[in-house]
Amino acid sequence: MMPAGEDAPMPIAVLALAFAAAASPAAPPAHHFGRQFVSPMGEPFLSTGAGDSLQTWFNQADTNHDGVLTSQEMQADAERFFATLDTNHDGEIDPDEITHYELDIAPRGGTGLLNITEPVISADTNFNRGVSLEEFRQAALLRFQALDLEHQGRLTVAGLESIAPAAPSRRKYVDPSPDDNLSGIDPAGDTQ
């Protein structure tokens, strides 16, 4: 029997487990975004050995660094990226700037949270082949709402990490071979 006030000795197995847990560094979180994460507005972030690319984007967009991303912060981040893309500073991302984005800024695509094949040009809601700042801000708001699965008006890294990433887009054009029998297909789709 132990004298009053003394704790019972810990079994050796429990001590060994506690020591092993304290001695081993915490495992890095298992992220599923691969080498490149594409923000909801299309900005690519490469993973570095020092950090996760989703976390890098989130930290940049979370301007008050409270661990919560609001729709206003996401729209402000969209405005910042818009300014990067609008190289001639005319207030619109025009076709040449979109081509620059697709060929030079994000040529490899990447994995994002939403299944948006062309995140910049898809913000062109009036179909004039350019994206205004207001269209880009509106796209940011709609994308925020799509990511806010709980409809709480805020996003967290943990919540975003729980969303399965969209499959990377793989645009593929198959040129029909001369052997394909396409004679019965109406290319304009206006005849029967």
pLDDT recorded at residue 163: 87
Residue 60, classed as helix, strand or coil, is helix
Range 44-49, long-range pairs (CB < 8 A, 24+ positions): 44/105, 44/106, 44/108, 44/110
Per the structure block, which two tokens stand in for 97?
Answer: 């700037």
Q: What is the pLDDT of residues 7-62, one digit of tens each?
A: 545 444 433 333 333 343 343 444 455 568 899 999 999 877 656 889 999 999 99
Q: What is the pLDDT of residues 93-112, one digit of tens each?
A: 999 999 999 999 998 877 88
Q: Please state the domain extents for the chain.
A: 36-161
Cα 177 to Cα 6, 183, 184, 185, 189, distances in angstroms: 86, 12, 15, 14, 20
Architecture of domain 36-161: Orthogonal Bundle (1.10)
Q: What is the pLDDT of residues 125-166, one digit of tens each?
A: 999 999 999 999 999 999 999 999 999 999 999 999 888 665
CA-to-CA distance for 74 and 79, rounded, in angstroms?
9
pLDDT recorded at residue 111: 82
Among 169, 135, 129, smallest CA distance to 41 is for 135
Among 135, 136, 119, smallest CA distance to 80 is for 136
For residue 46, list its beta bridge partners: 36
